[in-house]
Amino acid sequence: MNLILLGAPGAGKGTQAKMIAQRYHLPHISTGDIFRENIRKETEIGLLAKSYIDKGQLVPDEVTCAIVKDRLTWDDCKNGCLLDGFPRNLYQAEELDKFAKIDGVVNINIDFKLLMDRLCGRRVCKECGESYHVSTLNGQTTCHCGGELYQRKDDNPETVKSRLDVYSAQTAPLIDYYTKKGVILNFTGTEAPAEVLFEEVKKVLDEKFGK
């Protein structure tokens, strides 16, 4: 089965993606990972993407779609995949329909006020990348591994609001697009542990597609 994971920045897509991919034996395909891999291998399309990234520009939709289309031809995608971060807009969704059949779209709805608090209060370990929230740290400034905790530059109110605005304008319309296709699967993100949400996702996917 081919799945798409949708959700605003900070909705917990990364954590859910790992658990979904593991349970259903699907390759977790992130556009960011694909870009980095192609750039590392210095492929033709990777060098093209790098030329935009180095200028601080967004990689054009045509290039992004071409990279994803190529990735879906790999052997590990024969039985399906989990797309995370793609499509980001209607153009990409329409192009995706030309080279892949989407069976389900896991959409994580979450209140934007909660996302603002979650992202602005996030602290990340410089060593291992583990994330924390200031509400649980009690003044702690180091990770369990001993690494220093810091706040990412983009985890500030102005930048977070801008990211959420971009999501609303570009990505949220995909919900309507896939709802009309009858493949949207809606879930509500909360402050509960990620495992609680995954149990709901797993139940729905098991019933719809079987384990």
Active-site positions read 13, 88, 122, 152, 163
Residues ≥6 apart with Cβ < 8 Å to 198: 16, 19, 20
DSSP E strands, 76-134 = 81-84, 104-109, 122-125, 131-133
For residue 1, give both structure tokens.
């089965």
Task: Please name the residue that has the structure tokens 């959409």.
Answer: 107
Neighbours of 42 (CB within 10 A): 9
Asked if 68 and 31 count as a contact pair (C-beta separation under 8 A), the reply is yes
Under DSSP, is residue 123 helix (H, G, I), strand (E, B) or coil? strand
Q: How many residues make up the chain in this entry?
A: 211
For residue 109, give both structure tokens.
């709805």
Instruction: Give the Cα separation of 79 and 81 in Å (integer).
Output: 7
Instruction: Give the Cα separation of 23 and 201 in Å (integer).
Output: 11
Instruction: Give the Cα separation of 35 and 78 in Å (integer).
Output: 21
